[in-house]
Amino acid sequence: MLKSNFRYNSIILLFSIAFIALNGILLFSNIYYLSFLPLALAIVYFAFYKTKELLFFTILCTPLSLNLEQLALGNIGFYLPTEPILFGLLIILILRFLKRGPYDKKLVNHPITIATLFYLIWMFVTVLTSEDILVSFKFFIAKLWFVVPLFFFLIVIFREKENMYRVVWLYLASLAFVVALTLIKHYAWGFDQKAAHWIMSPFYKDHTSYGAIVAFYIPLTIGLLFRKKNTAIIQFTLISILTVLTVGLIYSYTRAAWLSLVAALGVWALFKLKINFKYVVLALAFGGFVGYQYFTDISIALGKNKTDSSENLTKHIESMSNVSTDASNLERINRWNCAIRMFEERPAFGWGPGTYAFQYAPFQHSSEITVISTNFGTKGNAHSEYLGVLAESGVVGLLSFLLLLFFVFYKASVLYIKLEDKEIKTLLLSVILALVSYFTHGVLNNYLDTDKASVPVWTCIAIIVAMDIYHSKTKEKSIEN
C-alpha cells in the first residue's frame, strides 16, 4: 500500500515538474495557452462529478463574463467563461439523459416544458431552411446550451427549495458588484449621459442590455427582502444592493428599462387587486385592437414630440415617444420595419435563426435610414424579441414564442393564487414581475442570444416549473389530505 501511494505521488510530482518546466518555456516565448490547462482540467472534473456546483459557478460568473468580440479577440460574440462551460454542460447532460432515460413525467408533461420543446423544434426546422445554415446552426446550439442546463437541469436542482434562493443570490451578488463598479466609474465622468452608453464595459455591451438586467433584478431583490429567515446583516445587505441597483438603473439612462419596471408595477397591482387573468388578456387584446384602429392618429400625435434624449431625466422620459427627431427611436423603427419586410418576403420559415443581422441591410429604405444606421448588424439586432423571431423563424416561430410566454405567465398566475406557503409565494411573485420587466423591455430590445439575459430568464422560468411540480402545496391538496 505504501509503495503504491509512493509511486502514485511520484508520478504526480514528475508530471507537475514537467508541466511547470514546459509552461515556463512557453511563457518565455509569449505563449500563454498552457497556463489555462489546470483551470480547464478543474472545470472538466467539476462537470462530471460536481455538475450542480459548476452550474452555480457559471451563474455567479455571468454578470462578469467578457465578450471576445468586444475585447477584439475574435469576430464572434462568444462570452468567457460562461458559454464554453454551458456548452460542456450541454454535452454532459445529453449523455446522462441517454444513459439514465427520460425525466420525471411531471416535468416532461408540464405545459411550459411542452411549449419550450415546440419552440426549440420549430427553431431547428427553420435552421434547415435558413439562408445561412451554418450561422443558424450555431445560434441553435447556443440556444440549447442555455435551455438544457438552465431550464431542464435547474428544475431538478430546484427540488431543494433553498437552491432557488441560492441561484438568485449568485447572479445578484455579481451584478451588484458590476453596478457598483459602474457607478464609481460613472461618478468620475460626472454621470454624463453620453458616458452612460459605454461606462459598463467590458461587462455589458451597452447601456440598454445593462439597464434591462438591472431592472430585472430589482423585483427579485425586493422579494428576497421578505424572507423571514433573513438576519439583520442579510437585510442590510439586500437594502444596500437594492439602493445600488436603483441608482444604477436611473443613471443607465435606459428608457425602456424604466418603462419595464412601470409595467411590472402595474402587474403587481393586478395581483394585489386579484383581477382574473382572462380579463387581463382581454384588456391587452382590446388595447391592441384600439391601437391598430387609431394607428394613424397615434403616429401623428407622436410626430409632434421633438424632445431628444437628455441628461435631464424629465426630458429623457419625454423623449421615449419622440419618433420625429430622436435618432435612437428612429433607428429602432428602421430595424422593426426591416424585420417586417423580411417576414413579408419569407412568412412561413423566415430567414433562419440568428441571421437577421446579416440579412436586414437590403430591406432598409432610404427614407428611414438614420445617422446611426449601418449595414453591418452592429448596435443591436431587430430591437425586438418578437419581431426578431418573426423575421428569422416566420409566423409559427413567433406563435411558438408567444405560446411559451403565455404558459409561463398563465401557470405562474394560477400557481400564485393557489400556493399556501407565503415565502414561496413571495418569491414566485418577484419572479413573475422580473419576467414581466424583461418581456416588456423585449418589445424594444432583444438580448436572449446573450448569457447576460438568457441565464436569469431561463432560471426564473425553471423556478416557476419547479414550484409547480415540487413545491405547490395548494389549498385543494391540503383539503384532500
Rounded to the nearest angstrom, the gap between the alpha carbon of residue 469 and the centroid of all alpha carbons in its chain is 23
**Helix axes of 161-188 and 232-250: crossing angle, nearest 10 degrees:** 50
Q: Look at residues 455, 398, 449 and name the one whose alpha carbon lies nearest to residue 135.
A: 449
CA distances from 291 to 113, 286, 287, 299, 333 (A): 33, 9, 6, 10, 17
Average pLDDT score over residue span 68-91? 76
R_g of the chain computed on alpha carbons = 24
Q: Where is average pLDDT lowest: 232-241, 421-430, 465-474?
A: 465-474
CA distances from 100 to 50, 87, 94, 95 (A): 17, 20, 10, 9
Distance of alpha carbon 463 from alpha carbon 431, whole angstroms: 8
Number of H-type helices and E-type strands within the chain: 21, 2
**Helix axes of 255-272 and 232-250: crossing angle, nearest 10 degrees:** 130
Q: Look at residues 54, 82, 48 and name the one whose alpha carbon lies nearest to residue 157.
A: 54
**Are 428 and 415 spatial neighbours (Cβ–Cβ below 8 Å)?**
yes
Q: In what helix (H) or strand (E) does residue 79 lie, and over which residues does it extend?
A: strand 79-80
The label of the residue with cell 380579463 reads 279
**pLDDT tens-digit series, residues 145-184:** 999 999 999 999 999 999 999 999 999 999 999 999 999 9
pLDDT at 139: 94
Q: Which band of pLDDT confidence, cut at 50, 70 and 90, is reported for residue 324?
A: low
Domain-wise residue ranges, the chain:
51-285+378-474
**Are 186 and 251 spatial neighbours (Cβ–Cβ below 8 Å)?**
yes
**pLDDT tens-digit series, residues 423-459:** 999 999 999 999 999 999 999 889 999 999 999 999 9
- Top pLDDT among 203 and 101 is at 203
Contacts of 93 (CB under 8 A, 6+ apart): 51, 148, 149, 152, 153
Contacts of 44 (CB under 8 A, 6+ apart): 88
**Are 82 and 61 spatial neighbours (Cβ–Cβ below 8 Å)?**
yes
pLDDT at 391: 96
pLDDT at 68: 73
**pLDDT tens-digit series, residues 346-403:** 999 999 999 998 899 889 888 888 777 776 665 568 889 999 999 999 999 999 999 9
Q: To the nearest whole percent, how much of the chain has pLDDT over 90?
A: 53
**Are 462 and 151 spatial neighbours (Cβ–Cβ below 8 Å)?**
yes
User: Is residue 481 pLDDT above 50, yes or no?
Assistant: no
If one counts every other C-beta atom within 10 angstroms of the C-beta of residue 102, the result is 8
- State the cell numbers at 419: 400556493
Q: Which band of pLDDT confidence, cut at 50, 70 and 90, is reported for residue 272?
A: confident
Rounded to the nearest angstrom, the gap between the alpha carbon of residue 59 and the centroid of all alpha carbons in its chain is 12
Distance of alpha carbon 436 from alpha carbon 219, whole angstroms: 10
Distance of alpha carbon 72 from alpha carbon 77, whole angstroms: 10
Pairing between β-strand 66-67 and β-strand 79-80 as defined by DSSP bridges: antiparallel
Distance of alpha carbon 357 from alpha carbon 376, whole angstroms: 7
pLDDT at 118: 97
User: Is residue 318 pLDDT above 60, yes or no?
Assistant: no
Average pLDDT, the chain: 83
Is the Cα torsion angle 392, 395, 396, 398 positive or negative in sign? Answer: positive
Average pLDDT score over residue span 13-30? 58
